[in-house]
Amino acid sequence: MKTVFAWFAGIALLGAAFAPTAGALELKVVDKDPPAQLDTAVRAKLQNKAIQLLNGNQPVYEFWLCAELPLPSKPASLARALDTLKQPVLLGAVGVAGDRRDYRDDELHAGVYTMRLALQPQDGNHLGTSEFAYFAALIPARLDLKPDGIADYKALVKASSKETATDHPLILSLRPASSDAGVLPKLVEPAPDHKSVRVKIPAKAAGEMTSLVFEIVYEGKGHK
């Protein structure tokens, strides 16, 4: 019987997770309101700046991150920063300019998606399939209308997979950052065959302002 916990099954057999781009992408940060496809309540939670990954002058991805993330406690370290987030918290939104492939090699169609934290199930079926257990589940904008409208993992998987040909959510891999030095966001290559954008999001923990630094993988593959 299929369950929602099978969404990472088979990732170890994948090849490249994303369609290749012509040459290296360039990063640019621009003042730009979140897409109109997003609900007003979701847009209100996002920054009015877009992180653009460009192929020439054409955006391949555009990310709008949350203006502030709620945390139960301050991150203990960079390596454990993502552990302070609760699934399925809203991380931001992404615009995908053309049809691509997600981290599982499933079809990722052009469009606007919300991004919510998804954790790889610790059920023994996914050992060795991914270096880290953190992912951003992508949900079509029209299916995610409230910042707190998706309450648990089951609802997250259902919404993310609703318009796909599989029962699996659409995902981008997330990684802890090895450093928070320098100007962020920035492009990095954290592992062989992986490319990511390192981001820094304002956050609040117990009324105290802090920040969260991590990486969004836009090109990579699962382990064989």
- 52 beta partners: 28, 62
DSSP H stretches of helix in 16-152: 40-43
List, for residues 118-143, the tens digit of each pLDDT value.
Answer: 998 865 454 445 689 999 999 999 99
3 state SS of 157: helix
Query: Mean of the per-residue pLDDT values for the chain?
Result: 88
Mean pLDDT, residues 20-45 taken together:
90
Structure tokens at 135: 């992912």
List, for residues 83-108, the tens digit of each pLDDT value.
Answer: 999 999 999 999 999 999 999 888 99
List, for residues 160-173, the tens digit of each pLDDT value.
Answer: 999 888 888 999 99
List, for residues 188-197, the tens digit of each pLDDT value.
Answer: 999 999 999 9
Cβ atoms of residues 87 and 79 within 8 Å? no
Cβ atoms of residues 34 and 60 within 8 Å? no
Quick one: pLDDT at residue 7? 44
Residues 140-175 as b/e (b if ≥16 CB within 10 A, e otherwise) read bbeebeebebbeebeebbbbbbeebeeebbbbbbbb
Quick one: pLDDT at residue 123? 55
Q: Locate tokens 């052009």: which residue?
A: 110
